[in-house]
Structure 1
Amino acid sequence: MSLSQTAYAKINLALHVRRRRADGYHELETLFAFVDAGDELTARPSPQDRLHVTGEFAGTLDDPFGNIVAKALSALPHGQGWDVTLDKRLPVAAGLGGGSADAGAVFRMVRDAHGLPDDWHQRAARLGADVPACVESVACIGRGTGTELEPVANDLAGAPVLLVNPRIPLPTGPVFKGWDGVDRGPMPQGNLRTIAREGRNDLEAPALALVPQIGDVLDALADSGAWLARMSGSGATCFALYDTARQRDAAKAAMPAAWWTLAGSLR
């Protein structure tokens, strides 16, 4: 028996930071969406859990055995053990929820093989704020720290999307620390397109202060025919949404070769 799952790249179509909480976390309102591509995971039965990391970004993981994939395996009953190969195709510390998406893929593999325990949402949230959304990997609204999920009308399924990263890692912590603490108001209501158009990313300014090259990416995407270009999460990856796949593919071809790019569609 062999199991396989794609760890779909997560993007934040909007990310509103409302306040800093007493527990040190930030109160968020975010619109999660997922791209139809990402890391790839395969799993086979094994006498004990094993994890092998391959792919372009395998070397950027400091400790593959402390990887969130290993933690996800430990968090769920899945038989005697699994031998998991993680093909790391998404950049690390990039605002794409790569590790959370990997964990979400593990949850789906366990669900397919054994079913998930009733408290799977709590187990996922303990691994990271983005993990519960990444388990289902469908567009949704996240509140609280991002773990309180609500459905949303997805009128952008299949929309062409381009992801671009200047190949500069940007850890989440310093970006949140640089947020100016100003509540700029709630996320708008409506379907995906409305919230995306009228929303914002409150972490864009502190991320730009740390990695000014994000501005170059946003400028390039804004000039590429996209109807929306924005930074995802805490950066440094930015995304652009297009009316046609031809526009997206032409934009991808025009990006500097030194940048990482991924062309896909929203799920």
Structure 2
Amino acid sequence: MQETAYAKINLALHVRSRREDGYHELETLFAFVDRGDTLLAKRAEQDQLQVVGEFGGALDDPFGNIVMQALGSLPRPDGLAITLEKSLPVAAGLGGGSADAGALFRLVERAQGLPDDWRQRAAKLGADVPACVESVTCVGRGTGTDLEPIDSDLTGTPVLLVNPRVPLATGPVFKAWDDKDRGPMPEGTAREIAEAGRNDLRDPAISQCPVIAEVLAALGKSEAWKVEMSGSGATCFALFNDVEARDAAARAMPSDWWQMAGLLR
């Protein structure tokens, strides 16, 4: 069996407050690109994980990998041998690990179905994991695990992801947030939310990783109608009205930056 771990982006990310449990109250619009990591699975006597690909070297502890944690969270009669081809950069604001876990849930669902409480099991692995299991445009509230469906008028939108090849941990970015509530996420269609929304973690992330500002500036010179940072960074994205404009922007990016071009699901 094969499954794609679709790259997650936040078309808007409004941080409303800091919670007593150390997490934050969020309002976000999740969207997913039609490309990402790849998981290959076959039945085995016991669970196994092999990580390959461009960014596979960043995940050198298979037992600490979220894919193995996801395997352990789901009851199954047989083991699964997983080969994870890591094409998405690590600690990049793309939900890479969460996307991998989401793809693993879909593999198990295909093989035997998921338990009724799969959402709770997914949430224990990470705040983005429940959204990544379904990998469709949706609104996330609370810590990001309270999901609301939204009809997407952005499906098929050309998107370009760009990362300066600098990993950026989520914790320090949230810690650098200034505790100012800048207002709720707007209402409307997915495109209207994307156009009017913001990412409240952009400035905190730039304070930790200044090159993000350079990536945003480079994308801002393109014909994109939306340019923003995803999640807690450092990956930025640009949305376009046509593939030709997206591909022209991709050619203009510095060759030492990572990039991935695709379409929104």
The two structures have a TM-score, normalised by structure 1, of 0.98
Structure 2 gap segments, 5+ residues each: none
Look up the match of 2:203.
205
Larger mean CA deviation between 71-80 and 200-209 belongs to: 71-80
Look up the match of 2:184.
186
Q: Secondary structure at the match of 2:174?
A: helix
Look up the match of 1:260.
258
Look up the match of 1:241.
239
Preserved CA contact (<8 Å) 1:9 1:37? yes
Look up the match of 1:25.
23
* One-letter amino acid matched to 1:84: I
Distance 1:152 1:190 in 2: 9
Look up the match of 1:220.
218
Residues 199-241 of structure 1: CA deviation (Å, up to 9, x unaligned): 0000000000011100000001010110010000000000000
Look up the match of 1:12.
10
Look up the match of 2:169.
171
Look up the match of 2:104.
106
Structure 1 gap segments, 5+ residues each: none
Residues 127-164 of structure 1: CA deviation (Å, up to 9, x unaligned): 00000000000000000000000011200000000000
Preserved CA contact (<8 Å) 1:9 1:97? yes
Preserved CA contact (<8 Å) 1:153 1:190? no
Residue 37 (structure 2) aligned to one of 24, 36, 39: 39
Identity of aligned residues (%): 68
Aligned counterparts, 1:156-167, within 5 A: 156-167=154-165
**RMSD, matched Cα:** 0.6
> 1:125 deviation in Å?
0.1
> 1:78 deviation in Å?
2.7
Aligned counterparts, 1:109-148, within 5 A: 109-148=107-146
> 1:23 deviation in Å?
1.0
Distance 1:24 1:60 in 2: 27
The two structures have a TM-score, normalised by structure 2, of 0.99
Larger mean CA deviation between 72-81 and 96-105 belongs to: 72-81
Distance 2:7 2:256 in 1: 20
Distance 1:63 1:257 in 2: 30
> 1:49 deviation in Å?
0.4
* One-letter amino acid matched to 1:79: P
Distance 2:128 2:18 in 1: 18
Q: Secondary structure at the match of 2:127?
A: coil
Look up the match of 1:81.
79
* One-letter amino acid matched to 2:240: Y
Distance 1:175 1:55 in 2: 27
The total of aligned residue pairs comes to 265
* One-letter amino acid matched to 1:155: D
Distance 1:120 1:78 in 2: 13
> 1:62 deviation in Å?
4.2
> 1:24 deviation in Å?
1.1
* One-letter amino acid matched to 2:2: S
Preserved CA contact (<8 Å) 1:53 1:87? yes
In the alignment, structure 1 residue 67 sits paired with structure 2 residue 38: no
> 1:22 deviation in Å?
1.3
> 1:43 deviation in Å?
0.5
